[in-house]
């Protein structure tokens, strides 16, 4: 049987966290959260504006190591909120700094109303 991991980034413990937890519960997968080394601060509007600048600049924030080893998994579901029509910068960092060779990757994305 293939071993599955749900990895997600959620700034505010919102929609993406809820969907990731539900997916892990329904599939019996392990779950891990992507966290930036420097947390976003300020109001929702402040973070939205910072996110816009980061997306437009292609910025990739540093992220903390996961609590699990990706090599232990065959299937990895990766969840992100929509930040300015694309993935959150922390997820871009995660995708570019890990090797997914031989793994099945299942992306999922949420949107709370902002672009």
pLDDT at position 35: 97
The model's pLDDT over 9-39, given as tens digits with 9 standing for 90+, comes to 998 768 999 999 999 999 999 999 999 999 9
Q: Where are the domains of the chain?
A: 4-110
Four-CA torsion 106, 58, 55, 12, nearest 10 degrees? 60
Q: What is the pTM of this model?
A: 0.92
Distance CA(22)–CA(26), nearest Å, equals: 6
Range in 39-48, 65-74, 99-108 with the lowest mean pLDDT: 39-48
CATH number among 3.30.360.10, 3.40.50.360, 1.10.10.10, 3.40.50.300, domain 4-110: 3.40.50.360
Confidence (pLDDT) at 27:
98
Alpha carbons 92 and 69: distance in angstroms, whole number: 18
Percent of the chain with pLDDT over 90: 80
Section 98-105 average pLDDT? 98
Distance CA 39, CA 113 (A): 22
What number is the average pLDDT over the span 3-14?
92
| Secondary structure of residue 73 in the 3-state scheme | coil
């Amino acid at each position: 049987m293939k071993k599955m991991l749900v990895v997600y980034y959620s700034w505010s413990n919102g929609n993406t966290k809820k969907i990731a937890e539900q997916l892990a519960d329904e599939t019996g997968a392990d779950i891990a959260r992507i966290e930036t080394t420097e947390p976003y601060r300020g109001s929702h509007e402040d973070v939205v504006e910072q996110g816009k600048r980061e997306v437009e600049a292609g910025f990739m924030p540093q992220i903390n190591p996961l609590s699990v080893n990706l090599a232990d998994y065959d299937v990895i579901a990766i969840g992100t909120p929509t930040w300015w029509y694309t993935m959150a910068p922390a997820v871009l960092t995660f995708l570019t700094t890990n090797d997914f060779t031989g793994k099945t990757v299942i992306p999922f994305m949420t949107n709370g109303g902002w672009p």
